[in-house]
Chains A and B, each alone.
Chain A
Amino acid sequence: MANADQIKKSYIDYVLTHGEAPKSVYNFAKKLKISEADFYEFYSSFAAIEKAVWEDMTMETLAKIRDQEVWSKYSAREKMLSFFYSYIEVLKTQRSFIIYSLKKHPKRLTTPDILTGVKMLFLDFAEEIINEGLDSGELANRKFFSKKYKDALWLQFGFIINFWTDDDSAAFEKTDEAIEKGINVTFDLFQRSPIDNLFEYGKFLTRNGKFKEKMGI
């Protein structure tokens, strides 16, 4: 009798050895010497296994970073940086599988199915640290836009993962750069900036500048 972990491992081994998914669940179950019903006990399909692999790695990363001694001292920006650095480290242990599972899906603007679980986990995490940042004043609260911050980070997520799968630099050094610069730029945008002041000033002028009267409107 196999368990979820064994099925997952065998599946990863199978796709990496063969470069493709097994022909059918029946076929795969037979190789594992389990019944098809046993398989469904744990996973509804091969896609479900892949999704679970991603989710496991994401949860592992989240647990790992929260476990760091410095975690509570980190700003929101540093927490996000820490997430990505650790994530890349965790993904590295399954790099071949990651590349296999991402390349299978044509690059589209929508999230691939296998990442839907990860997206939920990531957005929850992002929302949590963004709220912390908003509370502490590290990030600017811009009414409507603050709700979109986490989506901007999800875009960075996609960019960084893609960058990493194509990265051929030693020790993935370029990915480190992509993370450092990308996340910093994104968080710079979340902070209060001259644009906010300009916007405020514009609002003030339209209220008090008597533009309308002067223009004779």
Chain B
Amino acid sequence: MQPRKVERSAKFVTTGFRIGGNYVKHYSKKLFNPDLNRDELNEDNATDIYNSLSQLKGSALKIAQMLSMDKNILPKAYVNKFTQSQYNAPPLSGPLIIRTFTKSFGKSPEEIFDSFNPASVQAASIGQVHEATLRGKKLAVKVQYPGVGDSISSDLRLVKPFAFRLLNMSEKELNIYIKEVEERLLEETDYNLEVRRSMEISKACGKLKNVVFPKYYPKLSSNKIITMDWMEGLHLKEFLATNPSQELKNKIGQALWDFYNFQQHELRAVHADPHPGNFLITPDEKLAVIDFGCIKELPEDFYNPFFALVAPGLMNDKGATINAFRQLQMIFPDDDKKKIEFYYKWYKEMVSLFSLPYRGKTFDFSELKFFEDLYAYGEKITRMPEFKQPRGVKHFIYVNRTNFGLYTLLNELNATVRTDTFPPHVSTI
């Protein structure tokens, strides 16, 4: 009775065959040309996976987005393809939108709003956005696809083998991380929760300079529908196409930096979905944040050791650094001396790279070398057998995604920002 699941399984099976084929192609070419690197293979695989993912909806699309954010883990070829999946998904039919409204409010959208455009203006991975007006106010109404929550677990099961193949990691060891992803994805389907959090966080961030939030309307929202103010503005790409001044780019970049670091260090809960579609640059030169689906809370036992590493000083103390790595499960209790040295060296390099922006008072994110170093480091460790086994507590997934996402956005803006506005607060460990 679940045609959907079967359909999707079939989709993944064909993808599986194709990827298998790509490997065959790769290795047969390699027989004749030993210098061939994996770029072409990666490109082929990414294309096929992308093609099949783009025909799916809901969480698979979300996973594609998620992978595309993790530029640090994925080779560039995957990233380029996956970035495309952040947009476009087949829209809901008009009657189903009406049905969703009547289920939530007992009224059709026409009865609730003064006007409601049944054609959606944008797909939002697990839902779509409509334009409406009420008493002269322009509103954005997000409607969720039916069955999204239900299909997430099965989607993850389907996508797992491919995700593992992509990351060259074994399935068993990654389950704890997959679980973390599943939890966040399921939270995202709860629109009541999203409205509540959006209101809380936008209130808490209300004093930040140059950051604005839409007003949310809980009475016009339900578990499947969110109504908020329509925000006028440009997406990052469009904004950059207008050739903004360096000063303006720095201003927006600073707003982004403050928004994320205020949340991480003051709220200890962070908007963990820094993909460009979630932001607008308003005509009065402010950063508008329009999606709070994914919030990652940072528990004390993660926050402290992790940001202690970022804070200056600690890394000079080898014993304390190793201690922090142990608390973060980057070094396991049963690692022998040689292993401890090995992981200490590599993780130290990673953290030093990551925390570079925090080192001084300002940081220039147009600095290509910084990103090249990050990618180079990422590619280097994905080739090392020692890193086949995943390490690090599960919280890293979203915290890395958030911070690398932030860095990438700032890089696209070519912004120079003050990085000491909201510094980490760590108690000594």
Contacts and interface: CB of A to CB of B under 8 A. Distances in A.
A179 B3 CA distance: 12
Contacts of A174: 146-147, 150
Given A70-B110, A89-B102, A173-B147, A181 B95 contact: no
Contact of A184 (B4, B93, B99): B93
Interface in A69-117: 69-70, 74, 77-78, 81-82, 85, 89
Contacts of B103: 171
Interface in A164-182: 166, 169, 171, 173-174, 176-182
B41 interface: no
B176 interface: no
A50 B102 CA distance: 28
Contact of A74 (B92, B94, B146): B94
A79 to B, nearest CB: 8
Interface in B103-121: 103, 108, 110, 118
Interface residues of A, number: 24
Given A171-B103, A174-B147, A180 B96 contact: yes
A181 B3 contact: yes
A58 B94 CA distance: 21
Nearest to B90: A184
A180 B92 contact: yes
B1 interface: yes
B3 A81 contact: no
Interface string B176-219: 00000000000000000000000000000000000000000000
Nearest to A175: B146
Interface of A: 68-70, 74, 77-78, 81-82, 85, 89, 163, 166, 169, 171, 173-174, 176-182, 184
15 contacts: A68-B108, A69-B110, A70-B118, A74-B95, A78-B93, A163-B1, A169-B150, A171-B103, A174-B146, A176-B147, A178-B3, A180-B93, A180-B96, A181-B4, A182-B3
Given A70-B110, A174-B147, A174-B150, 4 more contacts: A68-B108, A78-B95, A81-B94, A180-B146
